[in-house]
Amino acid sequence: MSEFSRQRTILNPVVPYLGTIFGGLELGQMVVIHGTVAPDADRFQIDFQCGCSVQPRADIAFHFNPRFKGSGHIVCNTLENERWGWEERTNQMPLTKGKPFEVLILVLPSKFQVSSNGKHLLFYKHRLDFRRIDTIGIHGKVMIEMIGFASQTVSFAIHFQMTPNISKSPFFNYVCM
């Protein structure tokens, strides 16, 4: 059902990592990240950026930032014109220090859907047009084994978002369960 996009799978990138998403993100595209949280991690981040400029700093359409102090939480945000927006937090923490993980990020028409280790984690509403995203950055105490990109048809992504019985879809079982 899915076909791979123009983007090649990235294996064992050195962190910090900053790389181009060839062709940018598309509606229905899924980004798959396999890694291991460092045993001494306090945080790490995955940024979907609009360019790679350092000065001025590139806009970050989606900042996904697991933090491990206390019981842990995940912060999501957007950086626009060098200013952070309001933080959205979830106290769900499916990631564990020293353990491998899988994070899936699906591009929907109005938001990102994130799952981790086979379970739905959060939605993050687009604050910037996702079509501007052309760079992925990963920073912090994490080892990444793989960054993969898979494209779904636009109709399937819209079906995924709008179908009431979505739990019967095989894609739902992969992304959300």
What is the full DSSP assignment across 91-159? ------TTSEEEEEEEE-SSEEEEEETTEEEEEEE-SS-GGG--EEEEEESEEEEEEEEEE--HHHHHH
Could you tell me what percent of the chain has a pLDDT over 90? 78
Task: Locate 146 and state its tokens.
Answer: 């793989």
User: Per-residue pLDDT for 161 more than 50?
Assistant: no
pLDDT of res. 6: 62
133: pLDDT strictly greater than 60: yes
Residues 60-111 have pLDDT tens digits of 999 999 999 999 999 999 999 999 999 999 999 999 999 999 999 999 999 9
Q: Which fold has domain 3-175?
A: Jelly Rolls (2.60.120)
Q: What is the pLDDT of residue 159?
A: 39
**CA nearest to 61, candidates 46, 75, 48, 45:** 48
**Residue 4 pLDDT > 70, yes or no?**
no
The 10s digit of each residue's pLDDT in 148-158 is 999 864 334 43
Record the tokens describing residue 99, joined without a space: 């353990």
For residue 58, the 8-state DSSP code is P
Q: What percentage of the chain exceeds 70 in pLDDT? A: 82
Q: What is the pTM of this model?
A: 0.83
In this predicted structure, what is the pLDDT of residue 151? 82
Averaged pLDDT score across all residues of the chain: 87
Q: Which of 113, 45, 110, 105 is nearest to 79 (CA)?
A: 45
Cα(141)–Cα(36) distance, integer angstroms = 9
Q: What is the pLDDT of residues 46-59, one digit of tens each?
A: 999 999 998 899 99
- Whether residue 22 has pLDDT greater than 60: yes
The SS3 of residue 36 is: strand
CA dihedral 138, 23, 76, 156 (to 10 degrees): -130
Classify each residue of 147-163 as buried b or exposed e, where b means 16 or more C-beta atoms within 10 Å of its C-beta: bbbbbbeeebbeebeee
